[in-house]
Chains A and B, each alone.
Chain A
Amino acid sequence: AQTVTQSQPEMSVQEAETVTLSCTYDTSESDYYLFWYKQPPSRQMILVIRQEAYKQQNATENRFSVNFQKAAKSFSLKISDSQLGDAAMYFCAYRSNTNAGKSTFGDGTTLTVKP
Chain B
Amino acid sequence: DTEVTQTPKHLVMGMTNKKSLKCEQHMGHRAMYWYKQKAKKPPELMFVYSYEKLSINESVPSRFSPECPNSSLLNLHLHALQPEDSALYLCASSQRGETGRTIYFGEGSWLTVV
Please give the distance in Å from A94's CB to the nearest CB on chain B. Answer: 9
The reply to whether B106 and A44 form a contact with Cβ atoms under 8 Å apart is yes
Within 8 Å by CB of A91, from B42, B97, B104, B106, lies B42
Contact with A along B81-114 (1 / 0, CB 8 A): 0000000101010101111111111111010000
Within the complex, what minimum Cβ distance (angstroms) separates A90 from chain B? 11
Interface size on B, residues (CB 8 A): 30
State A44–B91 Cα separation when bound (angstroms): 10
B50 interfacial by beta-carbon distance below 8 Å: yes
B interface with A by C-beta (< 8 Å): 2, 31, 37, 40-43, 45, 48, 50, 55-56, 88, 90, 92, 94, 96-108, 110
Residues of A participating in the B interface, judged by any CB pair closer than 8 Å: 31-33, 35, 37, 42-47, 50, 52, 89, 91, 95-98, 100-103, 105-108, 110
Top 10 nearest A-B pairs (CB, nearest first) are A105-B42, A33-B100, A97-B100, A45-B105, A101-B97, A95-B100, A44-B107, A97-B99, A43-B108, A101-B98
